[in-house]
Amino acid sequence: MIDRNKVILKSPITTPQGGGYKSLNVTLRKSLGLFSNVRPVTALHPYVKTHYTNMDVVIIRENEEDLYAGIEHQQTQDVVQCLKLITRPGCEKIVRYAFEYAKAYDRKKVTCMVKDNIMKLTDGLFHNVFKEISAEYPEVIADSQIIDIGSARLAASPERYDVIVTSNLYGDIISDIAAEIAGSVRMAGSANIGLNVAMFEAIHGSAPDITGKKIANPSGLMNASVMMLSHLGMTDMADKVKNAWLCAVEEGCHTADIYKEGSSKQLMNTSEFADAVIERLGKLPTNLPGSKLAEGGGKIKIPAYIRKEKKQELVGVDMFMNWTGTNPNEIGKALTEMTGLGLKLKMITNRGVKVFPNGIAETYCTDHWRCRYIATSAEIMEGNPVYKMISYENILELMTALLKDGFEVIKTENLYEFDGKRGFSLGQGE
């Protein structure tokens, strides 16, 4: 059915915290390739209480990758890891969607938020793609902020922002912030857009405690429906429904969650509020800004991804060991003495910090050691390292030798250069 209709209007479902459950929301989004989560958040001052009366921001969140790939491993007693995956096709799709969205709905500015001062490869990729693609949209202002400062400024002065594009986890956090400070958590809709299929939903979760009480605010699902209509190109219809909803809100028809003695006119239950919106179809709001989705044209096109191949060369390997000693020099010495393998030990880190050679005694060491090997022939001088190609056989021989010497390799990460450029980060202090 999904395959035939290409759109889904979904009601809230809940993922239990902890335990063994995979999030069904995440499964749906990812299996269906719904790469873009779109959350418009607008202040409804004075009808909904907020400090930020001019807020009108759209958060466009990458929806398929990042830490939400859910790839986690425990391989020692002390340490657990989760893989953050950022992909070029993923970045290209979401960044282009953000700029296309800005054009389609007449938005002026797109702000990119990531943390590439720390995550230079992953968040760096997102930011670089943002810079590349923004150049194709000179009519839209492109702006970048580090996520910590960006989140803080969004929380304190959301009126600075128009469209924000960001990766999955950051987007999860800032879209909740935006909705909460606008007072609209129970009011806002969101879209999950794929190349073939799209899913629309309220941003709030399920509320089993009020089942059957008829007090739920249907606004979240209504706003989701408005987004669905505009996605389908029915932007006139979308404006009509949205404007009727705005009229109902500004005329004081309020469900219990936003009802305030004085400013509200009528306390309505779920179906009474829905009827109030239906009665106002065709009307335009008086005080709140009207919906103008139709004006942008509503057309969004995302081209297919074309992989740009770079020359990829294997230049080393990170061997991760489970080792319960505490002195880095001990494991460092033992590994340095294993020679004749075509590979040499360059350094050892613990939680990313170089501890061999020349570590600092204060660095705390867990039982999870990353040992970096490069070609015996590589010349690694300060400031101008020259790596040399190694072979897969080198890696297999090294693993065999390590195993024989009693070192437990728990994971490996190959080191590559792409067009001669390092495709791996250095250790802290390397």
Q: Which of residues 122-151 bind a copy of itself (CB under 8 A)?
A: 122, 124-125, 127-128, 146-149, 151
Smallest distance, a copy of itself to C-beta of residue 190, A: 13
Pick one of 11, 15, 339, 358: the residue that binds a copy of itself (CB under 8 A): 15
Pick one of 232, 367, 376, 380: the residue that binds a copy of itself (CB under 8 A): 367
Stretch that binds a copy of itself, among 172-180, 225-233, 272-280, 332-340 (CB under 8 A): 172-180
How many chain residues are in contact with a copy of itself, going by CB under 8 A? 121
342 touches a copy of itself (CB under 8 A): no
279 touches a copy of itself (CB under 8 A): no
From the list 247, 229, 237, 234, the residue with the least C-alpha distance to 284 is 247
Our CB check for a copy of itself shows the closer of 79 and 234 to be 79
Our CB check for a copy of itself shows the closer of 122 and 217 to be 122
415 touches a copy of itself (CB under 8 A): yes
Smallest distance, a copy of itself to C-beta of residue 349, A: 8
Stretch that binds a copy of itself, among 211-219, 255-263, 280-288, 411-419 (CB under 8 A): 411-419
Our CB check for a copy of itself shows the closer of 102 and 188 to be 188
74 touches a copy of itself (CB under 8 A): yes
Nearest 5°: phi and psi at 331? -65, -35
10 touches a copy of itself (CB under 8 A): no
- Identity at 25, one-letter amino acid code: N
Contacts of a copy of itself in 308-327 (CB under 8 A): 308-310, 312, 318, 322, 324
CA pair distance 325, 320, nearest whole angstrom: 14
3-state secondary structure of 264: coil
Q: How many CA atoms lie within 13 A of 328 on its CB side?
A: 23
- Outline where 320-382 has alpha helix (H): 328-336
CA pair distance 383, 385, nearest whole angstrom: 6
Cα-based distances in Å from 112 to 178, 235, 324, 427: 16, 27, 42, 27
> Six-digit token pair at 396?
């297999």
55 touches a copy of itself (CB under 8 A): no
> Strand order in 7-10's β-sheet?
7-10, 198-202, 189-193, 36-42, 56-62, 163-166, 109-114, 141-146
CA pair distance 79, 367, nearest whole angstrom: 7
396 touches a copy of itself (CB under 8 A): yes
**DSSP annotation of 337:** T
Q: Which residue has the tokens 């500015």?
A: 109
According to DSSP, the residues that pair with 416 across neighbouring strands are 314
338 touches a copy of itself (CB under 8 A): no
Contacts of a copy of itself in 198-227 (CB under 8 A): none
Smallest distance, a copy of itself to C-beta of residue 345, A: 17
Stretch that binds a copy of itself, among 25-33, 103-111, 219-227, 287-295 (CB under 8 A): 25-33
